[in-house]
Amino acid sequence: MESLIVGVSGVRGVVGEGLTPEVVVRFGAAFGTYLAGGRVVVGRDSRRSGQMMRDALVAGLVSTGCDVTDVGIVPTPTIQLAVEELETSGGVAITASHNPVEWNALKFVGAGGAFLSAGEGARLLDLYRAGTTQRVGWGDIGSITADRSAVDRHIERVLGLSVIDVDRIRERQYGVAIDCCNGGASIAFPQLLRSLGCAVVELNCEPSGLFPRDPEPVPRNLSELSQAVRKVQADVGFATDADGDRLSIVSNSGKPLGEEASLALAVSYVLAIRPGPVVANVSTSRAIDDIAARFGQPVIRSKVGEAHVVRAMRDSKAVIGGEGNGGVIFPELHYARDGMVGMAFVLASLAGQGVSVDELAGGLPRYHIVKESARATSATQDELTDIARSAFPDGSYDLTDGVKVMWENRWVHIRVSGTEPIVRIIAEAPEEEEASRMCSVVKERL
């Protein structure tokens, strides 16, 4: 287990090192046992290891009597929506999301389409570790069927959302450049855009699994998209990671807005139509608080990770929520970070207000967020808290997830990553120098 990272709702590792077919078969059988049979939706991103992973996972699942519906190479939110629509016992997304190409992972989805909670994931892990899986005899082995319509159904559901005026978007015939990193969103994202009447310029939309850039859709990885937007004079550029749950936006002048802007714009759009509580994780920009305050709505902060955000959204009956890494969750569609719904909100905002992306972004609260990391995997919560207290004795503290120190208009957050062997340090302030300085102070002490 050393080189496997087990997170809230899944397991990830480097293929051929921690993550082998043997491990995947055992996780498949453990998940089948956990679900106690029924149907399981399986889908994946485009990584070269994906087919091997899929075959191993499916073998494990059917060996416990589960039937499998394979939805192919699709975005993770499409898998989650298929679980909900087909009313299956659960689902598995085979994707390492924003991690580099040598990684892969299993993300486990429960009935209803949300990722397993921490408690549910712990029960699955117990079954995996104990190896007490329920195998069936030859006559009861599960069936395997392919379903290639999950993307079409997902797009139909986005187009059917009552908060989006599809005709108004279509009338504008937006020019859109899209970079899917040759990942799992490569077919679905351009297809949604075309169905919204956009003229689409596709960059890296071959689901080959050969990533031409780092899959994380952060500004430093989007230079090709920025150039394309300028060259073809597109109205907007969109980028996503390898599995389509994180969305980044490039403006009409070719400027990456930063992944924090995606949720900020979505919150702004939705609250104007559906006032209600907002949920974001503790690492997400303060811009969300400022926007919610304009509409007189509260912001609830959760731990980092989709499962935690979703739990808080259900508890607070939030109308919109997500994570600052570009993950937009709109419960009227489903409880999943969904880049497709994020793109639809951006286009609907443009069409509704008749403005450009630069103008739209100009209306967002101005903060600078700096995200750094340090190799300090053995750091405990107590050590992180001690470091923060000695470095920043005058702030107020939030220990929801790691340690967050806050002042009136700035904050710094330190936590051990759930997906990589690092400590994440994120700081935000009105001035970039101040945010960088707060990160440096923490890094020195780690």
Residues that bind Mg ion (CB under 5 A): 97, 241, 243, 245-246
Report the nearest approach of Mg ion to the CB of residue 244 (Å).
Answer: 7
Going edge to edge, which strands form the sheet with 103-110? 4-6, 10-14, 103-110, 90-94, 39-44, 67-73, 144-146
Report the nearest approach of Mg ion to the CB of residue 338 (Å).
Answer: 11
The catalytic position among 97, 226, 283, 302 is 97
Nearer residue to Mg ion within complex by CB, 79 or 236: 79
Which one-letter DSSP state was computed for residue 143? P
Nearer residue to Mg ion within complex by CB, 115 or 345: 115
Give how far the C-alpha of residue 180 lies from the chain's centroid of Cα atoms, to the nearest Å. 14
Is residue 312 within 8 Å of residue 302, measured between CB atoms? yes
Report the nearest approach of Mg ion to the CB of residue 313 (Å).
Answer: 18
Nearer residue to Mg ion within complex by CB, 65 or 256: 256
Nearer residue to Mg ion within complex by CB, 96 or 319: 96
- 323 DSSP β-pair partners: 327
Instruction: Tell me if residue 97 is catalytic.
Output: yes
Give how far the C-alpha of residue 443 lies from the chain's centroid of Cα atoms, to the nearest Å. 26
Nearer residue to Mg ion within complex by CB, 70 or 323: 323
Report the nearest approach of Mg ion to the CB of residue 52 (Å).
Answer: 20
Give how far the C-alpha of residue 219 lies from the chain's centroid of Cα atoms, to the nearest Å. 17
Nearer residue to Mg ion within complex by CB, 246 or 404: 246
Is residue 293 within 8 Å of residue 277, measured between CB atoms? no
Report the nearest approach of Mg ion to the CB of residue 245 (Å).
Answer: 4
Nearer residue to Mg ion within complex by CB, 83 or 291: 83
Task: For residues 91 and 68, give the distance between their C-alpha atoms in angstroms, rounded to a whole number.
Answer: 9
Task: For residues 19 and 244, give the distance between their C-alpha atoms in angstroms, rounded to a whole number.
Answer: 22
Task: For residues 88 and 404, give the distance between their C-alpha atoms in angstroms, rounded to a whole number.
Answer: 39
Report the nearest approach of Mg ion to the CB of residue 41 (Å).
Answer: 17
Report the nearest approach of Mg ion to the CB of residue 97 (Å).
Answer: 3
DSSP track, 19-56:
B-HHHHHHHHHHHHHHHTSSEEEEEE-S-TTHHHHHHH
Let me know if 3 is exposed, middle or buried by CB neighbors in 10 A (0-12, 13-18, 19+).
exposed
93: number of Cβ within 10 Å: 30
Outline where DSSP puts E strands in 219-329.
236-240, 247-250, 278-281, 299-302, 320-323, 327-329
57 phi, psi to nearest 5 deg = -60, -45
Report the nearest approach of Mg ion to the CB of residue 356 (Å).
Answer: 28
Would you mind telling me the total number of residues written for the chain in this entry? 446
Outline where DSSP puts E strands in 35-154.
39-44, 67-73, 90-94, 103-110, 144-146
373 phi, psi to nearest 5 deg = -145, 160
Nearer residue to Mg ion within complex by CB, 277 or 305: 305
Q: Which residues are catalytic?
A: 97
